[in-house]
């Protein structure tokens, strides 16, 4: 009878285990589309055997652990690739905005420069014509407007980046806080020798998000807590403590600060990674260099046209004044003499008679010598001895083109790499419907046979009890 009772007990444990396993399979199926979920499985072990005479007889089965499939190597690979993906992603939008500003259509600054000098060429055919003189002023105004517009558009791009940084930071602070909290929970659960599977999945997912946005790297401490730090080594999650990111407006732009304990650190391209680094690189390095180039172009056009214009004379035969506003930056702390030339560019001449088509001397309305010289300026090599105005513009535009092209390539590459790794991760730890369905059948059969076994034992016991009737 004792043997039968043992068998009854074994059958009961089997029923329980199979039922629990089916629950776990069900949970896997429920989470088949949950991002970051790792497949869980029950770890089955037999009950310790009991000695029965000369041999040992098993006592049933039990679940010793519910474990999740996990691959540390893949996780760290993924974090790395997400950093690349984030960095490229952070630059993409600004670059496509820049490509819109510096376009290659028929209507760009280069066409306006052409048209401006073309109006001088046209003026040279009939220098006394007041209409042609007006056209020159008009073209000058359009050119100046275009430079202003480009400078303003660059400001808009920078503002968009600032907006994006600000909106990112709020979300990131939540993620940082959640990672710290998860660290705490996992520690509290696992100290009791239990597995915090779903919490770990969630933490892995959040850490990937942080890597993508901030370029963070992680290491595990002895308590099983994930410590997250920025590329420069500044910690943002330490044990169960999360730091805070703050955006501070410095008047014209936005600074990003890390509040770590009592100290405040400014973050820049060197101490950031991922998407924010991409944004900061565009805002603090690439766009300023583009702006400097366009300022340079505006300054070169303005100052050289002015030099040529003052060499000539208006209809009165007296030396002419400057055509464009002198945008040379004089007051420190200007970074260069070109600073803000594009946005300040404006035409000074407003009287068509003051257009210097001729050279100084007695009034000569037919004198076109200065107009010819001015028209010639348009296709001369005037910048650094290697570029004309147009080729300088072409140079700026191709620089943006190359950058954008590179970005497209590296973004594509990073996306592919991430996809591949995510698929690899899925391959190891993901939920496969086929696998789960088969497990379902397996456990179902296990449950059925245990039940059958139970009824057999029941019959045996009945027979035993019926022996003495």
Helix ranges (DSSP H) in 228-382: 274-281, 287-311, 341-344, 369-377
28 binds other proteins (CB under 8 A): no
Rounded to whole angstroms, the Cα distance separating 81 from 415 reads: 9
289 binds other proteins (CB under 8 A): no
Rounded to whole angstroms, the Cα distance separating 305 from 322 reads: 8
122 binds other proteins (CB under 8 A): yes
Residue 459: Cβ within 10 Å count? 10
- Minimum separation from the CB atom of position 2 to other proteins (A): 41
Cβ closest to other proteins, residue 321 vs residue 380: 380
Secondary structure of 222-263 as H, E, C letters: CCCCEEEECCCCCEEEECCEECEEEEEECCCCEEEEEEECCE
Cβ closest to other proteins, residue 428 vs residue 453: 428
466 binds other proteins (CB under 8 A): no
How many chain residues are in contact with other proteins, going by CB under 8 A? 65
- Minimum separation from the CB atom of position 434 to other proteins (A): 5
121 binds other proteins (CB under 8 A): yes
Site string for other proteins, 433-452 (x = CB under 8 A): xxx-x---------------
Q: Enumerate helices (H) and strands (E) in the chain, giving the number of each.
A: 11, 11
**CB 206 within 8 Å of CB 179:** yes
Q: What are phi and psi of 388, to 5 degrees?
A: -90, 175
CA distances (Å), 455 to each of 11, 300, 425, in order? 10, 98, 44
User: Of residues 123-142, which lie at the interface with other proteins (CB under 8 A)?
Assistant: 124-126, 128
Listed in sequence order, the residues at least 6 apart from 48 whose beta carbon sits closer than 8 Å to its beta carbon are 59
* 21: nearest Cα among 2, 47, 40: 40
Stretch that binds other proteins, among 223-231, 264-272, 321-329, 423-431 (CB under 8 A): 423-431
**CB 214 within 8 Å of CB 258:** no
Query: What angle is formed at CA 375 by the lines to CA 369 and CA 378, rounded to 5 degrees?
Result: 150
Site string for other proteins, 341-380 (x = CB under 8 A): -----------------x---xxxxxxxx--x--xx-xx-
385 binds other proteins (CB under 8 A): no
Site string for other proteins, 76-105 (x = CB under 8 A): -------------------xx--xx-xxx-
Stretch that binds other proteins, among 5-13, 106-114, 283-291, 298-306 (CB under 8 A): 106-114
What is the distance, to the nearest Å, from the Cα of residue 329 to the centroid of all Cα atoms in its chain? 35
Cβ closest to other proteins, residue 139 vs residue 168: 139
- Minimum separation from the CB atom of position 366 to other proteins (A): 4
384 binds other proteins (CB under 8 A): no
Asked whether the CA dihedral 170, 175, 180, 181 is positive or negative, the reply is positive
Cβ closest to other proteins, residue 155 vs residue 426: 426
111 binds other proteins (CB under 8 A): yes
Out of 21, 110, 197, 450, the only residue in the binding site for other proteins (CB under 8 A) is 110
Rounded to whole angstroms, the Cα distance separating 90 from 95 reads: 9
Residues that bind other proteins (CB under 8 A): 32-33, 95-96, 99-100, 102-104, 106, 110-111, 114-115, 118, 121-122, 124-126, 128, 358, 362-369, 372, 375-376, 378-379, 390-391, 393-395, 397-405, 408, 415-416, 419, 422-423, 426-428, 430-435, 437
């Amino acid at each position: 009878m004792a043997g039968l009772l043992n068998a009854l007990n074994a059958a009961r444990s089997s029923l329980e285990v199979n039922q629990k396993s089916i629950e776990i399979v069900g949970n896997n199926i429920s989470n088949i589309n949950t991002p970051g979920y790792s497949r869980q499985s029950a770890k089955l072990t037999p009950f310790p055997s009991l000695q029965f005479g000369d041999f040992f007889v098993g006592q049933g089965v039990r679940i010793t652990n519910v474990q999740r499939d996990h691959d540390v190597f893949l996780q760290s690979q993924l974090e790395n690739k997400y950093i690349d993906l984030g960095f490229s992603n952070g630059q993409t939008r600004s670059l496509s905005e820049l490509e819109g500003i510096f376009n290659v259509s028929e209507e760009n600054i280069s066409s306006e420069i052409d048209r401006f000098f073309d109006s001088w060429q046209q003026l040279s055919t009939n220098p006394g014509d007041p209409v042609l003189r007006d056209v020159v002023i008009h073209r000058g105004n359009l050119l100046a407007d275009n430079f202003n517009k480009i400078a303003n558009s660059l400001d808009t791009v920078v503002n968009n980046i600032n907006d994006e940084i600000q909106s990112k930071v709020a979300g990131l602070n939540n993620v940082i806080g959640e990672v710290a909290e998860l660290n705490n929970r996992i520690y509290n659960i696992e100290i009791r020798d239990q597995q915090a599977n779903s919490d770990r999945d969630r933490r892995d997912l959040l850490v990937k998000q942080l890597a993508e946005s901030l370029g963070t790297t992680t290491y595990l401490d002895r308590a099983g807590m994930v410590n997250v730090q920025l590329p420069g080594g500044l910690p943002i999650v330490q044990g169960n403590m999360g730091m805070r990111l703050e955006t501070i407006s410095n008047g014209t732009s936005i600074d990003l600060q890390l509040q770590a304990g009592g100290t405040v650190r400014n973050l820049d391209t060197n101490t950031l990674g991922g998407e924010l680094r991409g944004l900061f690189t565009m805002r603090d390095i690439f766009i300023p260099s583009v702006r400097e180039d366009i300022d340079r172009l505006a300054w070169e056009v303005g100052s050289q046209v002015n030099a040529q214009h003052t060499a000539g004379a208006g209809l009165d035969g007296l030396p002419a004044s400057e055509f464009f506003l002198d945008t040379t930056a004089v007051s420190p702390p200007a970074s260069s003499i070109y600073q803000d030339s594009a946005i300040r560019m404006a035409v000074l001449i407003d009287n068509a008679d003051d257009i210097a088509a001729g050279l100084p001397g007695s009034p000569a309305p037919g004198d076109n010598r200065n107009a010819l010289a001015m028209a010639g300026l348009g296709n001369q090599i005037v910048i650094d001895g290697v570029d004309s105005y147009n080729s300088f513009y072409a140079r700026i535009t191709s620089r943006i083109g190359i950058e954008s092209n590179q970005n497209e390539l590296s973004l594509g590459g990073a996306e592919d790499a991430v996809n591949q790794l995510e698929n690899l991760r899925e391959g190891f730890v993901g939920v496969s419907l086929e696998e789960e369905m088969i497990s379902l059948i397996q456990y179902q059969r296990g449950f059925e046979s245990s039940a059958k076994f139970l009824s057999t034992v029941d019959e045996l016991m009945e027979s035993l009890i019926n022996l003495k009737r």
